[in-house]
Amino acid sequence: MNRNYYILTAIMFFLALGTLFIHERKVPPEISPGELLWDVLQPTRFVSTDEVAKRLIEKDPSLLLVDVRPASEYNKFTLPNAVNVPIDSLLTPAGQSYFGNPGMKVVLFSNDAILANQAWVLLKRMDFKNNYVMKGGLNEWMKTIIQPKMPPQTAPETAFERYDFRKAAHLYFTGAGIAKAGKSASKMKVVFKKRKKAVVAAGGC
């Protein structure tokens, strides 16, 4: 009887000793399906093209534009200062380093809003915060900022104010030289902005 207790004591002791050498497994953060559904249904993730244009003109340092289209399309045309994270590289550490940085607002865009929306849901699932989707994507950008249409005479005054802003923005973004310089500068900035976020990518132990 007594010998059994010695054995049991030893077993329990070594089991407890073992806990000193194991590490807690870091489970990557993710949100529950219910929460995800709720957030997906919220329209608050959308920002208008006007808002994006305004922030760009103001050179808002907390704004990061992310182009989720394939690299080939990105190279043809993109927004000023935008970085390219194709949706299929969203799960790589390099791709994820752009998201969830404190103080940064990330606006995702694609040709329409669909691809950007998909990227947004993925990021949400991984519990990254402060991500937005540009409403209507680049198509909307073309329609509103690059080729703004004059509102009909009956439109309210705010529509005309918006039109004035869009025309100014149109000049800003299509002005010869400026846009080119802005774009090449943006590509350099990409490297500069790339901050490693170690915790997120490091799964397991």
Partner 1 sequence: MGPLFPNNLISGEWNLLIALFIGMAFGFLLEASGFSSARNIAGAFYGYNFVVVRVFFTAVIVSMVGLLYLGYFGWLNLSQIFILPTYLPSMITGAVIMGVGMIIGGFCPGTSLTAVVIGKIDALFFAIGLYLGILLFAEGYPFLEKFYHAGYLGHITLTELTGIKAGWWAFGFTVIALAAFWVTAIIEKKVRKRIKEYKF
Query: For 13, how many CA atoms within 13 A lie in the half-sphere containing its CB?
Result: 6
Q: How many residues does the chain have?
A: 205
* Contact string 29-48 vs partner 1 (x = CB under 8 A): ---xx---------------
SS (H, E, C) 40-103: HHCHHHEECHHHHHHHHHHCCCCEEEEECCCHHHHHHCCCCCCEECCHHHCCCHHHHCCCCCCC
Question: Would you count residue 15 as binding partner 1 (CB under 8 A)?
Answer: yes
Residue 3 Cβ, how far from partner 1 at the closest point, in Å?
Answer: 14
Question: Would you count residue 176 as binding partner 1 (CB under 8 A)?
Answer: no
Is the Cβ–Cβ distance between 113 and 136 less than 8 Å?
A: yes
CA proximity to 162, closest of 73, 47, 66, 54: 54
User: Using CB under 8 A, which of the segments 11-19, 55-63, 68-76, 172-180 binds partner 1?
Assistant: 11-19
Strands laid side by side in the 46-47 sheet:
46-47, 131-134, 105-109, 63-67, 83-84
- What's the CA gap between 152 and 149, in Å, rounded? 9
Which of 3, 23, 76, 149 is the binder for partner 1 (CB under 8 A)? 23
Which of 22, 41, 188, 191 is the binder for partner 1 (CB under 8 A)? 22
Residue 26 Cβ, how far from partner 1 at the closest point, in Å?
Answer: 9
Question: Would you count residue 16 as binding partner 1 (CB under 8 A)?
Answer: yes
Question: Would you count residue 19 as binding partner 1 (CB under 8 A)?
Answer: yes
Question: Would you count residue 188 as binding partner 1 (CB under 8 A)?
Answer: no
Residue 29 Cβ, how far from partner 1 at the closest point, in Å?
Answer: 8
- Residues forming contacts to partner 1 in the complex (CB under 8 A) are 9, 12-13, 15-25, 27, 32-33, 205
